[in-house]
Amino acid sequence: MAKKRMPVEVNYDLCKGCGLCVHVCPKNVLEMVEDLHVWMGTTAKVMRPEDCIRCKMCEDICPDFSITVEDIGVELTFEDSKGNLITKSK
Amino acid sequence: MAVDYTKYLRMDKMPLYWCPGCGDGIVLKCYLEAIDELGWGKDDCAMVSGIGCAARVTGYVDFHTLHTIHGRAIAVAAGIKMSHPDKHVFVFGGDGDIVHIGGNHLLHACRRNVDVTVVLINNWIYGMTGGQHSCTTPPGAKASTAPRGTFEPTIDVCQMAIGAGAGYVARGFAGDPTRLKKLIKEGLEYKGFSLIDVFSPCPINFGRRNKLGDPAKLLEHMKSFLVSSAKAKRMSEEELKGKFVMGVLHKDTEKPELTASYKGLIEKAQASDEYWAKYVKGTLTEDDKDKITREELKKLYPYDVETPLKEWKKL
Ligand SMILES: Cc1ncc(C[n+]2csc(CCOP(=O)(O)OP(=O)(O)O)c2C)c(N)n1
Ligand code: SF4
Ligand SMILES: [Mg+2]
């Protein structure tokens, strides 16, 4: 059974909006957005989850322990950038 | 998710105190991953730090932690290691803390080769106190105490540590976490003094004054100073000028570790005392001769050989 979860998840309580994850992502999955509902005013958001190859570059570089990337091979069901429900394992 | 960081962190203290984009968090994460791979228990680890932004690490990790005085973290760590040789002892600290203010302790820990792992977060600045220049600020870079750029020559911490006799010396980069984790792990495993000099961005106090306020931009700037050890082999001395070599720079597997040699000395000294005590009482047996040689006995007994006999006769 596929888990219901994004391949990349950002913890908005910990993210300080430094932008390093956006800089290192080879697939341009993340973007910095202004959001007045988070504590720092800006945060990283997963914009194109279907492009994620789960290389964990963003998880490794994140200085605030706020990004978690699922392991390659785990089947996930999530909504892509166009709003369709898709299932992917890598 | 490869590693469950929450196991090692004091989650009630989160979010981290550091500024957005500060490299300290990246280094902490690499270090936790290395500990996780080694499978060390939390109660077997002791972490010591001095003062500074980097030194705030001790507040977040759920080991035995000590947040001590400025520059003296290595001295405290060496003391812990000497009294608890079975524990793993680490030091976290900044360049200002460990090299500039506590440089003397660094040198002597290197010389003694005491089994402590030092992760030096080298951000080229005194971050916490507002960006005063340190001994690693590159010439020409601006700092709050050098508004027209520093003019002092810098120090290559790794070369200094090698010269002082450290067993394991490596240089890593916060922008390259995969390799950094390997370097830290190797340093943790090494029996002896290990120093990992990590170039790490301070976008707020170093970056902003040098028009590198964007963490990604500062990371690229720091990267331009670094070359990997494999690439450095193919470069001439001329090309390597002003560059810093990344990777394991020195590893000495022969040098005796301090707590081990101290333990050896204690055992021999106890054997010698025991021998003399038995000699005085006249209860020596043939077995006692095997425990310690005649030469060692002579060398280790702090007084002249006749003293215990005379003392005994007086009684
Ligand atoms: C004895 C003493 N002198 C000076 C200070 C002020 N002080 C606090 S942090 C710091 C600099 C720390 O710089 P560094 O070790 O590079 O750490 P960073 O903040 O850059 O991570 C200084 C000088 C102090 N707290 N105690
Ligand atoms: S001042 Fe510099 S070293 Fe200190 S937390 Fe901020 S970015 Fe990090
Ligand atoms: Mg510093």
pLDDT tens readout for residues B220-237? 999 999 999 888 899 888
Decide: helix, strand or coil at residue A20.
helix
Q: Are residues B159 and B271 in the same domain?
A: no
Q: Are residues B218 and B309 in the same domain?
A: no
The domain that holds B69 is classified in CATH as: 3.40.50.970
Q: Which domains does chain A have, with CATH numbers?
A: 8-70 (3.30.70.20)
Could you say which residues from 162 to 221 on chain B have a Cβ atom under 8 Å away from some Cβ of chain A? 175, 177-178, 203, 214-216, 219
Spatial separation of the C-alpha atoms in residues B94 and B28, rounded to whole Å = 13
Its pTM stands at: 0.92
Could you say which residues from 213 to 252 on chain B have a Cβ atom under 8 Å away from some Cβ of chain A? 214-216, 219
Could you read off the pLDDT of B132-153 as tens digits, one per residue? 999 999 999 999 999 999 999 9
For the CA of B53, the nearest atom of ligand 2: 4
Among the listed residues B31, B221, B217, B218, the one whose alpha carbon sits nearest the alpha carbon of residue B117: B31
pLDDT-based confidence at residue A1 (cuts at 50, 70, 90): low
Measured between alpha carbons, how far is residue B308 from residues B41, B280, B296, B313 in Å?
Answer: 47, 7, 17, 9
Choose one of B225, B253, B281: the last residue of a domain. Answer: B253
- The confidence score (pLDDT) of residue B303 equals 67
Choose one of B211, B235, B253: the last residue of a domain. Answer: B253
Q: Identify all chain B residues contacting A16, using CB atoms and an 8 Å cutoff.
A: 15, 19-21
- The confidence score (pLDDT) of residue B179 equals 94
Comparing B314 with B283, which gets the higher pLDDT? B283
- The confidence score (pLDDT) of residue B218 equals 93
For the residues B146-169, what does the mean pLDDT come to? 93
Mutation test residue for ligand 1: of B24, B58, B97, the one with most atoms within 8 Å of CB: B97
Among the listed residues B52, B164, B210, the one whose alpha carbon sits nearest the alpha carbon of residue B119: B52
Could you read off the pLDDT of B246-278 as tens digits, one per residue? 999 999 999 999 999 999 989 888 888 888 788
Q: Are residues B249 and B269 in the same domain?
A: no
Comparing B279 with B19, which gets the higher pLDDT? B19
Choose one of B203, B225, B253: the last residue of a domain. Answer: B253
Is the per-residue pLDDT at B294 higher than 80?
A: no
Spatial separation of the C-alpha atoms in residues B183 and B195, rounded to whole Å = 10
**Domain enclosing residue B22, as ranges:** 5-253
Among the listed residues B8, B185, B123, B24, the one whose alpha carbon sits nearest the alpha carbon of residue A20: B24
Q: Are residues B152 and B297 in the same domain?
A: no
- Number of domains forming the structure of chain B: 2
Does the CB atom of residue B200 touch ligand 2 within 6 A?
no
Q: Which ligand is nearest to the CA of B199?
A: 3
Q: Are residues B287 and B200 in the same domain?
A: no
Indicate the range of A44-53, B58-67, B116-125, B265-274 predicted with least confidence.
B265-274
Q: Are residues B108 and B210 in the same domain?
A: yes
Is the per-residue pLDDT at A69 higher than 60?
A: yes
Q: Are residues B234 and B127 in the same domain?
A: yes
Q: Are residues B118 and B136 in the same domain?
A: yes
Q: Are residues B246 and B133 in the same domain?
A: yes
Q: Are residues B164 and B305 in the same domain?
A: no
**Token representation of residue B273:** 């005392």
Does the CB atom of residue B19 touch ligand 2 within 6 A?
yes
- The confidence score (pLDDT) of residue B291 equals 77
Q: Are residues B296 and B171 in the same domain?
A: no
Q: Looking at the partner chain, which of A18, A68, A71 has a beta carbon nearest the beta carbon of B21?
A: A18
For the residues A4-31, what does the mean pLDDT come to? 92
For the residues B24-51, what does the mean pLDDT come to? 94
Q: Are residues B59 and B200 in the same domain?
A: yes
> Are residues B15 and A59, on separate chains, in Cβ contact within 8 Å?
no
Q: Which ligand is nearest to the CA of B201?
A: 2
